[in-house]
Chain A
């Protein structure tokens, strides 16, 4: 009887979950660019963009994601196909110089952005990004959302690219942005 009751509860559980509603991300922001100048999100208007949140002390997933975006952009078309935006979730260690050096590594235009703790907190909220510091001292790492968000030229949220998603589906989404 107990087993039966558990089974019933388990199979019924998904129905109790809220029905997913249309989600949207994005919104206006002002951050700081690699030269230390204010960077308003309106500067991105007129061309689609792919935005990714990470940190420069992230040696594996962040450079892998940015390298992949650069590669996919070449496959979709030219460097003009869409903008690649990298926003740090670690403003404590990543100033304008750090995000600039990081963005410049990829041999193709990548916009590196940082900001005050409050500016970063706001943009993370707008874009549905989670991040959490792990560890103490100078060598801490950060758990963070590794999903890339895609916006069209009118700055409307269109789709996401997950790190483990095949290139073909990612390319199909990127082609739709133009």
Chain B
């Protein structure tokens, strides 16, 4: 049987062994758009601390959602990630949102995005504080 003191010691150890996340985000970009009122934004999130999750986003130019593109037998599907779910930002690792995969979908644009434009994107995490970054609009041919 464990004595209360032993349990308290074990709990304090557990608390020490889970340091908070240390998030930084960079290389945020989006492609130019045509007539459609939506866009995809891409970003690399780096974490030099404990594990965290990206659970949402807000954009200055429209409604932002985390979307996932997936391939199934040559067919491309794009869906919002399930409600209440997040994308893992591993401890001492990174999460890359890039073309053809998981991205931030922005809907309801008031006008087309032109190369050289900028807008603000706020990344929302389960643990870390929200992170605001500047997204650069690149030519549509960017990869």
23 contacts between A and B (CB under 8 A): A56-B35, A58-B36, A60-B40, A60-B69, A63-B31, A63-B40, A63-B140, A64-B100, A67-B99, A67-B142, A68-B143, A71-B141, A101-B34, A105-B32, A105-B34, A105-B141, A106-B140, A130-B74, A139-B107, A143-B75, A146-B75, A147-B74, A162-B74
A125 within 8 A of B: no
Cα(A141)–Cα(B67), bound, Å: 12
Distance of B83 from chain A, by nearest CB (Å)? 15
Query: How many chain A residues have a CB neighbour from B under 8 Å?
Result: 34
Q: Which residues of B contact A134 (CB under 8 A)?
A: 77, 79
Distance of A165 from chain B, by nearest CB (Å)? 11
B136 within 8 A of A: no
Interface residues of B (CB under 8 A from A): 31-40, 67, 69, 71, 74-79, 99-100, 103, 105-107, 139-143
Docked-complex contact B71 and A59, CB < 8 angstroms: no
CB 8 Å contact bits of A63-80 with B (1 = contact, 0 = none): 110111011000000000
A144 within 8 A of B: yes
Q: Which residues of A contact B34 (CB under 8 A)?
A: 56, 98, 101-102, 104-105
Question: Given the interface contacts A67-B141, A67-B142, does A101 sit within 8 Å of B35 by beta carbon?
Answer: yes
Cα(A147)–Cα(B76), bound, Å: 9
Distance of A19 from chain B, by nearest CB (Å)? 19
Q: Which residues of A contact B100 (CB under 8 A)?
A: 60-61, 64, 163-164
Distance of B59 from chain A, by nearest CB (Å)? 13
A107 within 8 A of B: yes
Question: Given the interface contacts A67-B141, A107-B140, does A144 sit within 8 Å of B36 by beta carbon?
Answer: no
